[in-house]
Amino acid sequence: MPYLKTSTEWYEQSSLLLKARPTTTRITSKYTVLKPSASKIKKREKYAAKQAAKPADTSRTSSPPPQSNPTDVTATFILKTYDPVSGTCLQYETTKGAEVGRLINSLGRLGREMAALPEAIDDLSAPQDAGVATPNVDEQGDVKMAGVPVPAAAGTGAGKKKKKGKK
Amino acid sequence: MGREHLTNDEFFTQLANLFEHNRTKGHGSVYLTQKRLTFDSTSTPATLTKVADDPLWDTHPENPLPVLIRASNNRSDKKAGTDRKDIAKIVLSTIVKPDDIDTFYIRYAEACKTGMSSLKKRDRKKGKKDKKKKKVAA
């Protein structure tokens, strides 16, 4: 059950898995808000105290932005692509709210693959891109570039994935 | 599991409720699942019959297939010493037709962006301010 480091990597791997096993693969995303436990609060308070004490020792005037409240909730968003037949499981976890739009966008593109529709045409995805901030457009550009050679190699990709699953 | 699938519109209102519920509770999870819908009770498509000769029979269906979307919260039990209450599991599901996928996901993204409000906000400005302060201090 590996956690992939980047959302792009997660998307590419999931896309390959979907191509190999389109009927059995499912994508589950989980949004969790957790209240910290008593011990976690203590730990955070301890850490905050430590951080507060540090700058005085090193005579540094600036410290990292003020620590959040120790009783703050932790929220995570986890994406999981799972194929029960081969047992392949790909995961990606984030805590950043800014990523949600992009991630749902890639869920949409994977949804198209599930529906056995051709990959998104530029005209269709253009209005979506317009709404997203500039750095995202770059990333999406990357994704599209990476997506282009995939259909040609779909057959071989599928074969590879299946072998992996059998192990 | 004899529950009815909701229409896409109903699904979005219910999903917003689910996120709102999560926010007022202050903790808990929202699960979202998507998968290909391979059989339909109303019209059984003969497109997806297993072909024995072709091991990759499902990779190239004749017609686009609908996608099943599910959403649920987590059930929770009352726990002494905490503010936990008994909460029943809420389960929603909808079917997205191949033609509606793009519009559905645009709305889906909006619903999730507003719903997942507890995730970390962008704090780029803070960082910049701090850097400036650093320079001034140095």
**Inter-chain touch A108–B36, beta carbons under 8 Å:** no
pLDDT of residue B54: 64
Does A49 have pLDDT greater than 60?
A: yes
Does A6 have pLDDT greater than 80?
A: yes
Give the pLDDT mean for A132-155. 43
pLDDT of residue A165: 45
Residue B78's pLDDT band (cuts 50, 70, 90) = confident
Residue A150's pLDDT band (cuts 50, 70, 90) = very low
CB pairs under 8 A between A and B: 147
Greater pLDDT, B86 or A29: A29
Q: Which of A36-50, B49-63, B101-115 bottoms out in mean pLDDT, i.e. has the lowest?
A: B49-63
**Inter-chain touch A30–B113, beta carbons under 8 Å:** no
- State the average pLDDT for chain A: 73
Does A157 have pLDDT greater than 70?
A: no
pLDDT of residue B93: 92
Most confident segment among A3-7, B39-43, B86-90: A3-7
In the numeric block, the tokens 């497109």 are attached to: B47
Secondary structure in 3-state letters for chain B: CCCCCECHHHHHHHHHHHHHHHHHHCCEEEEEEEEECCCCCCCCCHHHCCCCCCCCHHHCCCCCCCEEEEEEECCECCCCCCCCCCECCCEEEEEECHHHHHHHHHHHHHHHHHHCCCCECCCHHHHHHHHHHHHHHC
pLDDT of residue B65: 86
Instruction: For residue B34, give the nearest of A62, A75, A114 by CB distance.
Output: A114
* Best A41, A61, A63, A104 residue to mutate vs chain B (most B CBs within 10 Å): A104
Give the Cβ contact number of residue B65 at 10 Å. 24
Structural contact between residues B65 and B86, judged by C-beta atoms closer than 8 angstroms: no
Give the pLDDT mean for B34-53. 62
Secondary structure in 3-state letters for chain A: CCECCCHHHHHHHHHHHHHHCCCCCEEEEEEEEECCCHHHHHHHHHHHHHHHHHHHHHCCCCCCCCCCCCCCCEEEEEEEEEECCCCEEEEEEECEHHHHHHHHHHHHHHHHHHCCCCCCCHHHHHHHHHHCCHHHHHHHHHHHHHHCHHHHCHHHHHHHHHHHHHC
Does B41 have pLDDT greater than 70?
A: no
Q: What six digits make up the tokens of A152? A: 């040609």
Write out chain A residues lying below 8 Å of B48, CB-based.
Answer: 23
**CA angle (B137 as vertex; B131, B138 as ends), nearest 5:** 90
pLDDT of residue A55: 63
- State the average pLDDT for chain B: 78
Instruction: For residue A77, give the nearest of B64, B119, B130 by CB distance.
Output: B119
Q: Does A52 touch chain B (CB under 8 A)?
A: no
Nearest residue in A to B107, CA atom? A104
Q: Please, which residues bridge with residue A34 across strands? A: A74
Q: Does A149 touch chain B (CB under 8 A)?
A: no
Give the pLDDT mean for A75-92. 92
Write out chain B residues lying below 8 Å of A104, CB-based.
Answer: 105, 108-109, 112-113
Q: What six digits make up the tokens of A61? A: 């005037």
**Inter-chain touch A111–B34, beta carbons under 8 Å:** yes
Does A72 have pLDDT greater than 90?
A: no
**Inter-chain touch A120–B113, beta carbons under 8 Å:** no
